[in-house]
Amino acid sequence: MITLYHCDGARSFRPLWMLEELGLAYELKMLPFPPRVLAKEYLALNPLGTIPLMIDGETRMTESSGICHYLGIKYGPTPLMVDPGEPAYGAFLNWMYFSDATLTFPQTLVLRYSQLEPEERRSPQVVTDYAKWFLGRLRAVEAASGNAETLCAGRFTAADIVIGYALRLADSIGLSGEFGPHVAAYWARLQARDGYQRAREAERRAGIEQGVKPRIKP
């Protein structure tokens, strides 16, 4: 069975959502955040101490968007993936990489220097600068979501999952008030999906059952 190590609200929500959309069986292991500090035994499994870690037989992966891609290919065929023969294949891959490299990266600095660092190490200037960076890069999503219900291929795909997580993180760190109208509507559509709601419930339920408190607001 697939095992996913997850922190409440962390990037591991991407593969969790993907698992729910695919209807796959999995075991969800909840960890306190940050696990490298609060769950040092986890370092024996993932020396980086990062989240996620997915184990599927002999396969171990730690990159959230890559895990989504892996799951879609290994357990497909599924409309969540875009095939090389489809015109939107390049756009699909671009969104898959864009999700973390361009969108989530500046958000992690906003989160770190507004909430995670001790008070004396927090930096309003870093928070402001990287919030602007994120919102500037979000213009690509604003443009794409103004033209269609989803990002590519005329249907909901893994690209919407990985970008959708970046919008969830933005919401949790107080940046969603700056969303453009198209992104705001797109984010509302994503939250209404059954797969998203199931992933949220799985996260909540596992946290309660395993005694791990939520890190971010619902």
Q: Which residues pair with 53 in a beta bridge?
A: 5
The pLDDT tens digits of the residues spanning 4-23 come to: 999 999 999 999 999 999 99
Q: How confident is the model at residue 218 (pLDDT cuts 50, 70, 90)?
A: very low
pLDDT at 213: 84
C-alpha 11: how far from chain center: 4
For the chain, give the mean pLDDT. Answer: 95
Over 80: is that where the pLDDT of 176 sits?
yes
In the chain, what percentage of residues exceed pLDDT 90?
Answer: 94
Which amino acid is located at 184 in the chain? A
Question: Tell me, what's the pLDDT at 126?
Answer: 93
**pLDDT (mean) for 59-73:** 98
In tens, the pLDDT along 102-160 reads 999 999 999 999 998 999 999 999 999 999 999 999 999 999 999 999 999 999 999 99
Order of strands across the sheet that contains 59-61? 26-30, 2-6, 53-56, 59-61
Q: What is the pLDDT of residue 215?
A: 66
> Taking the mean position of all CA atoms in its chain, how far away is CA 158?
11
The whole-number average pLDDT for the span 55-81 is: 98
Tell me the two tokens of residue 39: 């769950």
Question: CA of 151: how far to CAs of 44, 124, 171, 184, in Å?
Answer: 38, 33, 19, 14
Residue 180 in contact with residue 142, Cβ under 8 Å? yes
Beta-carbon contacts of 108 under 8 Å, excluding residues fewer than 6 positions away, are none
Q: Over the stretch 181-214, which tens digit does the pLDDT of each residue have? A: 999 999 999 999 999 999 999 999 999 999 998 8
With b for 16 or more beta-carbon neighbours within 10 A and e for fewer, the 138-174 pattern comes to bebbbebbeeeebbbbeebbbbbbbbbbbbbbbbbbe
